[in-house]
Structure 1
C-alpha cells in the first residue's frame, strides 16, 4: 500500500456498526474485487472493494470477510480469508499479507487461508438463520460485468438453496454515508494533496502547454505525497470543457482560453474531488469573469444551503433557481423562460444540465440512501457550472464539504477559488519564470 498504515480502530468500529444492525444469528460475507484483464496476459492493478476495505482495511486480491456475530465459537465471529503467501506466489507477485500482518491492519484475530474457506463457510451457514450477501447497488452502476460477489451469490444459492438470503448493500450504504472522524481525517489528507497539485498547476500553466502536461504535473504532486488520481482527470481547455466527461486531455491550451480542471487525489482509498476553471494566460476576459463569478456565487450559496435535514432534490432545485437568475443577468435566458421554469423542465438545463453534487468517500460517487436527507457526517461535492459551447468555453467550480449540526464545513476553503486570487497567483508565477 502506498499510504501510511491506518489505525485498525477504524475498521473495528465499522464492523461493530454493521454487526449491530444484523438480525440475531445472521451472517454477512464480502469478497474482494476481481483483478481485471486487459489484453494478452495483462491485467489492471486491483482496485480494492470499498465495502471490504471499509470493514477490514484489506486491499489484497481474492480476500473474503465472514462476519457471524452470534457464532457459538468466539473465534468464528469475525474471520478473514487470504491467499496463502507461498514461496512461488511471492516470487512472481511479490510480498503478500501474512496472517499476523492482516490482524494488525484489520483488528481481526482469526485469519485463515482461502483453502479453509469452504469448510468454514459450511459450518457458519449451517448455524445461521439469515445470510447477508453483497452486490454493487449504486444507482448509476452499469452492472454489466459479473463480480466476485455476484458469482458468490450464485454459488451460495446453488449450494445452500434453503437459506434465507438478504441484501447487505442497503445496510452498508446507510453506514458509509456518515463519515467517522478517522474517515474525515483521511478525506482531509486527500484534499490537502489535491491542493498541492492545483497550486503546482497554477505555477505551471501558460499558453502553449498541453492538457496532458497539466495532467503530468498533477500526478507528479499526488504521487510524491502518497496519493493517486481518485478518478481519470478532466483537463479540458476551450470548448473541450463543454463535454462533461472529456478525458482525452490531448489538446494545446491556447492564449485567451479557459481550462477546466476536474481532478482529485485519493489517500488511503478515501477520495477528494475538485474542479477549477482558470485562464490559460493568467487573465480572465470580462465575459469569462462574469460567467465565472456567477458560478462562484451559486457554489458559495449552495455550500451554505447544504444543511442537516435538507433533501438532495430540494438542494438541487435551489441551485437551479439561482442559476436561472444568473443566466438572466448574463443575457442567456429571458424573463419568460425563467418564469416558465419547473422542476421537470428547468429553464437552465441547456446551460446547467447535471447534478449539483454527490456523496463522496471511499468511492468518488459514494453510496448513500437515495431518500435520506442530509445528515451530520455526510461529505458532499458542490459543483455548479455554466456551459457555453457557442462561446467556446465553460465554467465549473467544485468544492467538497462536510455536513455538521452547526452548518456545512468547506473542506476546500484553503484552495484558491476567487478570480482575483487565481489571477494573482498565476501572475506571480509568470514573473518568476
Structure 2
C-alpha cells in the first residue's frame, strides 16, 4: 500500500511566524526579505527549486524570485508579496504560477504586486518606515538581492527630499531575531520533524535490508531516495554511503564503490519533508555481523551516543553533551590502546582529535545545520531550552596509518540521532532505528 500524502502547513502557521517576528520590532518598522532564485545546473537546465528557508518560514510561498515586505505600524501590520506575474506561455513550459491575485487568495496576503512594480512601490513603502530590517549580509547570488533593491529605492526617496519625503534612518540585520525564533520549534514543526525522521528511519532500514557484498554504494543511496520520494519527501542534504574506509571521510559523497564482505558501511541520510529535514547516521556490517575490532569500536560510539543524548536537558550548557561524548570516546580509545596516558590530559591536549575531529551535534530544522546562536554575546555557551532540536552524532575515524593495529585500520563509525530538548527527559525522534548489533543481524541477514 502506498503511503498517504502528508499535508503542508496551514496558512495560520505562517501568520503565527510573521506575528512572532513583528512582535519583536518597534512600531514604524519594515522587514524586507528576498526569496530564492532558480539555480542553473548547466546550460539551460536548472536544479530543482527549493525555497530559501527564512522566506518559506514567513510565507509558505514556494515559487522563485519573490520579495517579502512586512510593515508594522502602531495600529496594524501589512503583509506584502512581490511575485512573478501570470504568463500562460511560460506556465505551459515551466508550471503554474499563483501571480499577484493567487497569492492574495491562497496565502492571505494583504497586498501583492508583480516584480516589475518593485521600483515603483518600494520607495512608497520605505518612506513610511523608521526602521528597516533585512538580511544585510546576504551575499548569495541565488537570493533576490533585497539590499540592492533597498539601495535603489533609497536613491529615489532622497530625490524627493524637497517634497518633505524622507528615507528611514535605522537599518538592522534581521537574521539574529529571525533565527532565534526558528531555533525554538513550535508543536507543528516538531510534528513535521517527527514525520521526516520516521521516513528517514524507514529509508535506513530499507538500505540495511538490501545491503550485500558487491552492491554499489549508489545503489544503496537510490534505495534510500526511493523511500524519501515515495513519502512525498526528498533528501535534506547530500546522502553519504561510505563502505569500508570511505566511512572515514566525513563528507564522502562520491558513492561509487562496491561494498565488500567483512566491511562496515556508514550511511548519513535524512529526508526533507515540507521544508524540515531529518539527519540520521548509521553504521552497520555489510555481511550482517561485526568482527571483534569493529564491535569494540561500535560499542564505544554507541555508548557515547546514549550518554550524550541524556545530557540534552533544559538548563544544560550547549557544550555539555559534546564534552560527555568526548570523554566517553577518549576513554574507549584508551581501552583499545589507540591512546595512552592520563584521561584528562588526553582531553585537554585534544589527543582524541586524531580519531574524532568534529563536534557532537548541531541544530536541526529547516536546514540540516539549522540557524541559531551557540554562544551568548559574552562568548559563553547558551543554555538549552525546551523545543530546541539537536543532533547527537559521535564517531570514531581510525586512519590506516602504520602505527595503528591492523584490525582497526580504516574503521569509520558514526551514529547520529535527532533529539528534542524537553525538560529533563529528551525526546529522541529517531529512536526507532535499531542500533543493537544483535538486531542488525536480523535486519541485514548473515552472509
- What's the TM-score once normalised by structure 1's chain length? 0.91
Q: Secondary structure at the match of 2:396?
A: strand
Within 2, Cα distance between the matches of 1:342 and 1:282? 34
Residue 109 of structure 2 aligns with which residue?
108
Within 2, Cα distance between the matches of 1:111 and 1:154? 20
Q: How does 1:139-150 map to 2 (within 5 A)?
A: 145-149=140-144
Partner of residue 153 from structure 1, selected from 129, 147, 153: 147
Residue 358 of structure 2 aligns with which residue?
354
Partner of residue 31 from structure 2, selected from 28, 32, 36: 28
Q: Is the 8 A contact 2:37 2:64 kept in 1?
A: yes
Tell me how far 1:101 sits from its aligned partner: 4.7
Within 1, Cα distance between the matches of 2:330 and 2:58? 43
**Is 1:214 aligned with 2:214?**
no
Within 1, Cα distance between the matches of 2:130 and 2:137? 23
**Is 1:248 aligned with 2:248?**
no
Distance change >3 Å, CA 51–CA 205, structure 1 → 2 = same
Distance change >3 Å, CA 190–CA 136, structure 1 → 2 = farther
| 1:39-76 deviations in Å (ceiling 9; x for gaps) | 2222222221100100011111011111002177x5x7
Within 1, Cα distance between the matches of 2:88 and 2:282? 48
| 1:115-150 deviations in Å (ceiling 9; x for gaps) | 33333322220000010011567xxxxx6x43435x
Q: Is the 8 A contact 1:7 1:105 kept in 2?
A: no
Q: Secondary structure at the match of 2:352?
A: coil
Stretches of structure 1 that go unaligned for 5 or more consecutive residues are 138-142
**Is 1:387 aligned with 2:397?**
yes
Within 1, Cα distance between the matches of 2:121 and 2:347? 57
| 1:15-38 deviations in Å (ceiling 9; x for gaps) | 010000111211101111121123
Runs (4+) of structure 1 exceeding 4 A deviation are: 98-101
Within 2, Cα distance between the matches of 1:38 and 1:111? 30
Figure out how many residues of one structure are paired with residues of the other and give that number: 417
Q: Is the 8 A contact 2:39 2:142 kept in 1?
A: no
Within 1, Cα distance between the matches of 2:438 and 2:178? 43
Q: Secondary structure at the match of 1:235?
A: strand
Distance change >3 Å, CA 203–CA 265, structure 1 → 2 = same
Within 2, Cα distance between the matches of 1:23 and 1:45? 38
Residue 55 of structure 2 aligns with which residue?
52
Within 2, Cα distance between the matches of 1:114 and 1:155? 11
- What's the TM-score once normalised by structure 2's chain length? 0.89
Residue 378 of structure 2 aligns with which residue?
none
Distance change >3 Å, CA 63–CA 158, structure 1 → 2 = closer
Q: Is the 8 A contact 1:262 1:274 kept in 2?
A: yes
Q: How does 1:282-297 map to 2 (within 5 A)?
A: 282-297=288-303
Within 2, Cα distance between the matches of 1:22 and 1:302? 37
Q: How does 1:150-229 map to 2 (within 5 A)?
A: 151-160=145-154, 163=168, 164-229=170-235
Within 1, Cα distance between the matches of 2:346 and 2:136? 39
Tell me how far 1:258 sits from its aligned partner: 0.1
Tell me how far 1:356 sits from its aligned partner: 0.3
Within 1, Cα distance between the matches of 2:92 and 2:337? 66
Residue 332 of structure 1 aligns with which residue?
338
Q: Secondary structure at the match of 1:381?
A: strand
Q: Secondary structure at the match of 1:78?
A: strand
Between stretches 169-178 and 154-163, larger displacement belongs to 154-163
Residue 426 of structure 1 aligns with which residue?
444
Residue 140 of structure 1 aligns with which residue?
none
Within 1, Cα distance between the matches of 2:74 and 2:120? 15
Q: Secondary structure at the match of 1:341?
A: helix
Q: Is the 8 A contact 1:71 1:124 kept in 2?
A: no
Superposed CA RMSD in Å reads 2.0
Within 1, Cα distance between the matches of 2:193 and 2:270? 11
Tell me how far 1:255 sits from its aligned partner: 0.1
Q: Secondary structure at the match of 2:412?
A: strand
Between stretches 308-317 and 226-235, larger displacement belongs to 308-317
Q: Is the 8 A contact 2:326 2:347 kept in 1?
A: no
**Is 1:376 aligned with 2:370?**
no
Stretches of structure 2 that go unaligned for 5 or more consecutive residues are 156-166, 376-381, 401-408
Q: Is the 8 A contact 1:212 1:249 kept in 2?
A: yes
| 1:355-375 deviations in Å (ceiling 9; x for gaps) | 100001000000011223211
